[in-house]
Amino acid sequence: MKIVTVIPLEKGTFKTDLTYFTSKDIKNGSIVSIPFRTRKILGLVTSSEDASNAKSGIKEMSFKLKKIFEIKKHSIFRKEFIESALLLSSYFISKKNTGVITLIPSIFREKYDEIEKFSKNNIVPESNHSSKNIEAEKILFQTNFEDRISYYKTLIRGQFALKKSVFIVLPTEYDIDIFEQALSKGIENFTFVMHGGMKPKKIIEQYEKIINSAHGVLILGTTQFLSIPRMDISTIIVEHESSNAYKMIPRPHFDMRIFAEIYASKIDAKFILADTLLRYETIARKEKESFGEIYPLSFRTNFDRISIDIIDPSKSNEEETATKSFRIMSEKSIEEIENTLESKKNVFIFSLRKGLATYTVCKDCNETINCDKCLAPVVLYLSRDGKKRMFICNKCNTEKDPETVCTNCGSWNLMPLGIGTDTVYEELKNKFYKVKIFKLDKETVKNSKEAEKLIKEFEETKGSILIATEMAFFYLKEKVSLSIMASFDSLWSIPNFKMSEKIIQLLLSTLSKTDKKLIIQTKNKNDPALLALKSENLLHFVREELKDRKNLEYPPFKRFIKITYLGDKLESIKAKEILAENLKEYKPEIFGGFVSKNKNQFITNALIKLDPQKWSLPELLSGSKIDQNLYNLFSSFPPSYEISVDPEDLL
């Protein structure tokens, strides 16, 4: 009899691996069907030993061992894929089962038996790779979209000639559509799209074709579909590398770019990180690690055909504001909109925030108007029918009477501040009442289908205006003649240590959707990001930003690990004491969150700054490791302490 340790391939928090028995010989990495409570679930075998060697341990168990129902004929997952998933789980301090199931599409678990049958002729063989670090080729590729596509076409055909396959990892369905259109011509029968938005039946059909194709294939998919056990993948490319979509917001906070890199190293595949502008931490890695380049990294913006105007709206409206209320759009912007619409061309106006105003203050006592339930600042919105104004809390969705008074002094003298999509919409609909104006933000559309429908109608309506947040970049397919950033200065109001980088990415994204002219409304014409953009060369700006990060001990020069606790006042005081005591060896910085109260609870953050060598995987950095003492400390914390490695922000 064998005593078998199993990782459950099921969602849920399992404190430990599960233990079962079987009379059959079983290999590590096998997929089994196991009883769990009243259900039957899949499990991954991590170890087995003869019961005779484990007798004393069996006697000490506080539960009765159950028998494995079934040992699947073979695993549909490569050994290297599972190893990579477990390594990623360690890096992000996640439970093993959480890590593995996060990286496997749910349809592969739900339809395992069906997939196993049609892949029986492609049983995943034992790997020849050892578990030691493999020096796979790693390359940075930073140039414009057109040049990257040209290179990929040559690369793909070259790999096909060698009977090899290529996997291009992409962050969103939108990116996948763009790359499919650009790369599939002439190789349609060997190009496969895979993402979670597809219907289950289509995913299985595509999987079967991929696994059984005798010809090399090009797979364009999200990271999870690296789980497809195609054995001839020679190149893995992480495209649009700067996209925030690669980083999971909810637990376990995985960064899928890291997983792709680990997996490429495990299977000895060439690994390419590519974008118009790579993340600054990725650019910095070139100096410290053995990254090659396809071409020297290009920092030229290459938007020569687009005119960029930087306008101070307060100066252009100076005479008008002496007698009238302030207008969001400058006279120059209005004039350009009029000219564009007369030519039956479309206009895109970017606004950072949704709503009429991002917050409201009392002009008599300067008190911010907050939600009654969770105390977060409320946002002033315009109803969908355009007839009603209302305050809504973005945190708990509570509505507040628009006729409210200041809770501090009782004054009615409230002043909305900040420029949102509704603010811009209200102004433009009065000026261009005959023009079709579309608005896209999380309030106006419920899901991606509604967003796609809205954008399609906008693009088909010539001489129309789109007012949108960052959401628009995921759906716009056609370029517009004129783009306007309504309030560039508001970008700096976001408390994020990566904000200057994000601003450059937003500017590049806006330019990529623009055909003729970009207008940026700002009171600071000497903003370094704008000067860099106008110079058409971002090299100096990026170098200065990296120099600042080094001086401030920010990533990539330090590894950030953030621990967050949410509780009432007494619990938060206790949490601060626990964090300070348990982590004192690592000198944590302990501070409150940006919104200090949430439903009578307080946010407490602790930040640890580490030498990257002390918290990096060997597959990524030579000589690096996970600090085992710190890992054990984190593992001992209860689930109420949320741990985030490489957080996107500190608040």
The answer to whether residue 553 sits within a structural domain is no
CB 515 within 8 A of CB 479: yes
Q: How distant, in Å, are the alpha carbons of 313, 335, 489, 533 from that of 525?
A: 11, 20, 10, 12
The answer to whether residue 551 sits within a structural domain is no
In this predicted structure, what is the pLDDT of residue 126? 56
Same domain assignment for residues 342 and 489: yes
The answer to whether residue 269 scores a pLDDT higher than 70 is yes
Run of H or E residues at 22: strand 18-22
The answer to whether residue 383 sits within a structural domain is no
Instruction: Give the tokens for residue 479.
Output: 């370029």
Same domain assignment for residues 564 and 489: no
The answer to whether residue 543 scores a pLDDT higher than 50 is yes
The answer to whether residue 572 sits within a structural domain is yes
The answer to whether residue 386 sits within a structural domain is no
Q: Which residues contact 362 (CB under 8 A, 6 or more apart)?
A: 368, 369, 406, 408, 409, 411, 413, 414, 415
Minimum mean pLDDT among 4-13, 188-197, 332-341: which range?
Answer: 4-13
pLDDT tens, residue by residue, 370-390: 777 656 567 666 665 556 777
Among residues 307, 308, 309, 312, which one has the least CA distance to residue 524? 312
Write down the residue that tokens 């000589």 correspond to: 623
Same domain assignment for residues 212 and 324: no
Same domain assignment for residues 446 and 593: no
In this predicted structure, what is the pLDDT of residue 367? 74
Mean pLDDT of 387-400: 68
Write down the residue that tokens 């009603």 correspond to: 388
Same domain assignment for residues 63 and 118: no
Last residue of a domain, one of 536, 567, 597: 536
Exposed (0-12), middle (13-18) or buried (19+): which is 32, by Cβ within 10 Å? Answer: buried
pLDDT tens, residue by residue, 505-541: 999 999 999 999 999 998 888 889 999 998 999 999 9
The answer to whether residue 402 scores a pLDDT higher than 50 is yes
In this predicted structure, what is the pLDDT of residue 63? 62
Q: How distant, in Å, are the alpha carbons of 156, 182, 390, 422, 582 from that of 407?
A: 64, 57, 17, 25, 41
Same domain assignment for residues 68 and 86: no
Minimum mean pLDDT among 226-235, 470-479, 484-493: which range?
Answer: 484-493
Same domain assignment for residues 519 and 594: no
In this predicted structure, what is the pLDDT of residue 133? 44
The answer to whether residue 619 sits within a structural domain is yes
Same domain assignment for residues 169 and 202: yes
Percent of the chain residues topping a pLDDT of 70: 87
Q: Please tell me the pTM assigned to this model.
A: 0.87
Run of H or E residues at 381: strand 379-382
Q: Residues of 527-545 as b/e, b for ≥16 C-beta within 10 angstroms?
A: bebbebbeeeebeebbeeb
Q: What is the phi-psi region of residue 593: left when phi exceeds 0, alpha when psi lies from -120 to 50, beta otherwise?
A: beta
Rounded Cα distance, 349 and 424, in Å? 8
The answer to whether residue 87 scores a pLDDT higher than 90 is yes
Position with higher pLDDT, 394 vs 430? 430
Rounded Cα distance, 530 and 538, in Å? 10
In this predicted structure, what is the pLDDT of residue 132? 44
The answer to whether residue 394 sits within a structural domain is no
Same domain assignment for residues 292 and 225: yes
Q: 82: helix, coil or strand? A: helix
CB 284 within 8 A of CB 291: no
Last residue of a domain, one of 29, 44, 72: 72
Q: Domain count for the chain, please give it.
A: 4
Same domain assignment for residues 438 and 469: yes
Mean pLDDT of 90-116: 94
Torsion sign, CA atoms 112, 115, 121, 125: negative
Position with higher pLDDT, 635 vs 443? 635
Rounded Cα distance, 506 and 452, in Å? 20
Of 93-102, 134-143, 359-368, 494-503, give the range with the top mean pLDDT. 93-102
Distance of alpha carbon 493 from the chain centroid: 21
Mean pLDDT of 4-24: 87
Among residues 120, 33, 28, 133, which one has the least CA distance to residue 79? 28
User: For position 637, which CATH number holds?
Assistant: 3.30.70
Mean pLDDT of 487-498: 75
Q: Which residue range is the domain that position 615 belongs to?
A: 559-645
Which amino acid, 435? V
3-state helix, strand, coil in the chain (%, to 5): 35, 25, 40
Rounded Cα distance, 242 and 188, in Å? 28
In this predicted structure, what is the pLDDT of residue 130? 45
Q: Which residues contact 557 (CB under 8 A, 6 or more apart)?
A: 284, 549, 550, 612
Q: How distant, in Å, are the alpha carbons of 93, 588, 606, 641 from that of 579?
A: 17, 8, 7, 10
User: For position 449, which CATH number holds?
Assistant: 3.40.50.300
The answer to whether residue 387 sits within a structural domain is no
Torsion sign, CA atoms 178, 179, 183, 185: negative
Longest dimension (CA), the chain: 92
Rounded Cα distance, 627 and 608, in Å? 13
Minimum mean pLDDT among 26-30, 223-227, 392-396: which range?
Answer: 392-396
Run of H or E residues at 438: strand 437-440
Rounded Cα distance, 118 and 272, in Å? 32
Mean pLDDT of 243-255: 94
Cβ atoms within 10 Å, residue 646:
19
In this predicted structure, what is the pLDDT of residue 134? 45
Among residues 61, 54, 56, which one has the least CA distance to residue 18? 61
Same domain assignment for residues 246 and 221: yes
Q: Residues of 405-434 as b/e, b for ≥16 C-beta within 10 angstroms?
A: ebeeeeeeebebebbbbbbbbebbeeebee
CB 392 within 8 A of CB 334: no
Same domain assignment for residues 514 and 461: yes
Among residues 491, 588, 500, which one has the least CA distance to residue 548? 500
pLDDT tens, residue by residue, 345-367: 999 999 877 544 555 777 777 77
Minimum mean pLDDT among 275-284, 421-430, 455-464: which range?
Answer: 421-430
Mean pLDDT of 54-65: 63
Minimum mean pLDDT among 223-227, 357-361, 449-453, 568-572: which range?
Answer: 357-361
CB 239 within 8 A of CB 175: yes
Minimum mean pLDDT among 54-58, 365-369, 643-647: which range?
Answer: 54-58
Residue 343 confidence class, pLDDT cut points 50, 70, 90: very high
Mean pLDDT of 446-474: 94
* Average pLDDT, rounded, for the chain: 87
Mean pLDDT of 332-355: 91
